[in-house]
Every structure is written in C-alpha cells, then in structure tokens.
Structure 1
Amino acid sequence: MTKPLGDTVTHYWLAKRMAKTAGVDLVAAIQDGRLHDQDWAETVTRCRGCGWAEGCQKWLLKHQDSVDKAPISCKNADFFETLKV
C-alpha cells in the first residue's frame, strides 16, 4: 500500500526551509536556470511522499543555522546538493 501524500502547503515550506538550511539559494538557482518549475514541483512531491516529515520538522528546529547538507533522511538531499553553486 502506498503512503498518502502529505499536505502540499506544509511540505512546500518544509522543502523550502530544508533547502535554505542546507545552503541552497533557491532564488539564485531559478535565476541561473538550475531550478525550473517542474523541478520544484517534483521536489515538493518527493517531500509530500516522505515518511520523515515529523522528524524533518524537529531536525529543522535543531538546525536553525546553515549546515553543510541536508540529512540523508531527506528525500531531496541529493537534489539539493546539485543546486549548490
């Protein structure tokens, strides 16, 4: 059985916060053509399908400052690494 997707708005903000915390400048990535609308939609969808949402929120609270990269538990960790300059 497939896990139902989480709330779109909640996961939009989780993905955005995780990217920022992991040192990704999403605005620059969009401006430079490294991040397109479809890429971002897929990022949010991956987040929505992740079972670690509660852990993610707790991790983000503990890591208010920027870190080297997103934790391995994040389904978007590898993608966020590709967006770094």
Structure 2
Amino acid sequence: MTHLRLVLRMGRATGVDVVAAHREGRLSHEDWAEMVQSCRACDWAGTCPEWLDEHERVCDAPETCPNRARLAELAARKERDE
C-alpha cells in the first residue's frame, strides 16, 4: 500500500488524478500496476514522502521519479481532452 499511496500523492502533486485517469480510460490497469512497481523499485522512494510533504503542487515530478514521464503524459492528455 505504501507505493500505491506514493503514486497517488505524486499524481496529486503534479495535478494528475490517477484514479480518474484510470476510470476515464486514460490509464490502463496494467499501466497503473507498472507505476506502482516502478515506485517499489525506486531507490528514492524512501525520501519521496518528505519531498511530497514539502512540495504540495509542482509542474513535474522530480527527475528521480521513475513515473515522471508517465505522469507528465497523463497531465498532457487530460489537457488535450478538456
């Protein structure tokens, strides 16, 4: 559950509602699972909660985040669809 929560928090910090993206078909179940797995494998995950506490709203996830590109793509797709 820790890494699922981190993915959701990083999504919120970058303006991406991961749950809504999944519900709306912009994020498949497999892609969401991959995001959680990537988070689990991240060496920076132990520091991530502290970073998130200090950065409630950002344009992009930090470069160290393995889900940075995927979150940016989800944000861009949402903007295009609106």
Give the counterpart letter for 1:63 in structure 2. Answer: H
**Cross-structure match for 2:22:** 30
Report the TM-score when normalising by structure 2.
Answer: 0.85
- Show the 5 A alignment for 1:5-84: 9-64=1-56, 66-84=57-75
Return the alpha-carbon distance in structure 1 between the equivalents of residues 2 and 39 of structure 2. 9
Displacement of 1:67 in angstroms is: 1.0
Q: Which one-letter code corresponds to 1:36 in the other structure?
A: S
- Please tell me the root mean square deviation across aligned C-alpha atoms, in Å: 1.1
- SS of 2:31's partner is helix
Gaps of 5+ in 1: 1-8
Where structure 2 has 5 or more consecutive residues not aligned to the other structure, the ranges are none
TM-score, length basis structure 1: 0.82
The answer to which structure has the higher helix fraction is: 2
Dislocated runs of 4+, deviation >6 Å: none
In terms of Rg, which structure is larger? 1
Give the Cα–Cα distance (whole angstroms) in 1 for the partners of residues 73 and 32 of structure 2: 13
- Residues paired across the two proteins, number: 76
